[in-house]
Amino acid sequence: MRSLAREAVFKFIYSKLFNPDDEGLFDVLIKDLNTEDKIFATQLKDFVEKEQDKYYLTISNLSIGYKFDRVYKADRCALLIGMAEFDNFKDTPKIVIIDEAVKLSAKYSTENSPDFVNGVLAKYIGE
């Protein structure tokens, strides 16, 4: 199920914010996924890492009223995943991408985070 793959990527990206050298963690996080989801998770992780700086700039530009350094790290990770999936997995419906990112922020961030993530991704996808 892609939700579990997205969550594994989320956990990996979040962890790398604090420990950039922990490459082995990703293999641990995806070990129980089926083959198709492992491939999806690996591709999504690679797209996020490749375009992270571009997405951070985009988040900064779309986060009206928020300085980038004040955006919760968990929200950043959910947004990175949503933006990378939107840009690289055209078969995934937009609403699914937004919903999955919102669910991650609801699970791992603050009570206001789902609205924030929803708003930023809606702006991004609408552009």
pLDDT score of 96: 96
Stretches in the chain below the pLDDT threshold 50: none
Domains of the chain, CATH where assigned: 2-126 (1.10.940.10)
pLDDT score of 67: 80
Cβ(87)–Cβ(51) below 8 Å: yes
pLDDT score of 127: 66
pLDDT score of 66: 74
Instruction: Write out the H or E segment, with its range, that includes residue 114.
Output: helix 113-126
pTM of the predicted structure, to 2 decimals:
0.93
User: What CA–CA distance (Å, rounded) separates 21 from 42?
Assistant: 17
